[in-house]
Copies of this chain bind each other. A is one copy, B any other.
């Protein structure tokens, strides 16, 4: 496969906005699940710190220190982000590097947009 199954053709008609056609229960559950992953200040900052990093990657040690939270807590948040498809993790020797999945963020952004972009 070229890309992981970011879009389920069964539940997701396309990437159109929710404000134009009423959302079904399935689609609402799916979108809310991804939004829940996003709706936490720590996770937003994690995404932001990973994205701001040149190369687009950051290891856990880089993320733990500036946030003033325990390492298990950071690890937990990264797991939530990973399971929502918002980041990927990759082992590099002793360290684990996390990277954004830009398409995932873009999909959510498009679902919330009122006016059509691009």
Chain A interface residues (CB < 8 Å from chain B):
17-23, 25, 28-29, 31-32, 35-36, 38-45, 47-49, 51-52, 100, 102, 105-106, 108-110, 112-115, 117-118
**CB atoms of B118 and A113 under 8 A apart:** no
- Give A108's nearest chain B residue, CB to CB: B112
**CB atoms of B39 and A23 under 8 A apart:** no
Which 10 pairs between the two chains have the least Cβ-Cβ distance?
A19-B51, A35-B39, A28-B41, A23-B48, A109-B112, A117-B117, A109-B113, A39-B39, A102-B114, A32-B41
CB distance from A93 to the nearest CB of B (A): 25
**CB atoms of B19 and A47 under 8 A apart:** yes
Given contacts A100-B19, A105-B19, A109-B110, whether A48 and B28 have CB atoms under 8 Å apart is yes
